[in-house]
Amino acid sequence: MTFDEAFRNFRDKLQLPGMQPPDLRVPIERLRQQFFRMDYSGEPDAPELAEIRLLTIPGPDGPLKARLYVPLGAGIPPGPGILFFHGGGFVLGDLESHDMICRRLAEGSRCRVLAIDYRLAPETCFPCAHEDALTAWMWMSLHGPTIGIDPKRVAIAGDSAGGNLAAYVCQEMNRKKGPKPAFQLLLYPLLQFADIRSKKMPPQESGFFISVGLFEFFRGHYMPDPATHMDPRISPLFAPAEELKGLPPAHIIVCGWDPLHDEGLAYAAKLRAMGISVSEKEYPSMVHGFLNLTHLSATARSAARDAGIITGKYLGAI
């Protein structure tokens, strides 16, 4: 079975709201249970780590669950680390859905990875996920050594909506003149929530985990107030130029079959215009969310590891 055939079978089986018109009558909890729940036992190169540990950190409205990944090559603590936020449109996703991405980032980078289980919509709305992300970053800046991470050598990372949170934290530290991450790893990031219906969506981009209907589904749950759609916290692509000056170096991954492709490249261009070191990697044949498909695709497996290697080299772990 080819990757395309396997992916279509997977898509049809899962029936997420981006693959057909979203049915808001379907319970959110059911969608969450279906979201990227994969069996990774068939991955012959699944990385072996030194430690995987569940923990909690203080959040703005109670404890936040987190998971620490320690690779075999992490070295003597405190060392470099990655703070990771999962994707899922601020409605779906958790520590389990993005477990393999974190494993492969840790193995590739030789850095400890701390994944955060932030609050989701519709139980909590904007800016709760962003508040959780900022709180997690500030906790890491103060208490990183307690989990073996040097706060001065931390990359902030995320995929899709998680990439939005990572970009937001970097910009917010610019605005507040707070401690900045050393690096930002943005995996097919969602960088604006203002322009949805007019997004250019050719056939190869629509229907694969992302669609106009799915954007509306996510935005309607997380941002029910239209007045917030241009808020720079949720749309970092539109932040004023002065808020981009001095941001951390970045590596941005984009996919060919993804409506977020152009805004990822646009953000890279804006950062580069402000003198920030930026590298990009495009996967022309890959779909949005492909790093969650490591059980189907060798390209996804190598891409996750390669993103870790790039991050680890920048942080001095490799």
Catalytic residue IDs:
160, 258, 288
Could you give the CA distance from residue 294 to residue 307 in angstroms, rounded to a whole number? Answer: 14
* H or E element that contains 47: none
| Strand residues in 170-222 grouped as ranges (E) | 183-187
CB-side exposure of 246: number of CA atoms within 13 Å? 12
Cα 286 to its chain centre, rounded Å, is: 16
Q: Which of 94, 97, 113 is nearest to 105 (CA)?
A: 113
Cα 54 to its chain centre, rounded Å, is: 19
Task: Determine whether 42 is exposed, middle or buried from the number of CB atoms within 10 Å of its CB (0-12, 13-18, 19+).
Answer: exposed
Could you give the CA distance from residue 184 to residue 194 in angstroms, rounded to a whole number? Answer: 23
Could you tell me which residues come within 8 angstroms of residue 262 by beta carbon, excluding any fewer than 6 positions away?
A: 200
Could you give the CA distance from residue 61 to residue 132 in angstroms, rounded to a whole number? Answer: 9
Could you give the CA distance from residue 41 to residue 48 in angstroms, rounded to a whole number? Answer: 13
Could you give the CA distance from residue 19 to residue 7 in angstroms, rounded to a whole number? Answer: 12
Could you give the CA distance from residue 173 to residue 156 in angstroms, rounded to a whole number? Answer: 12
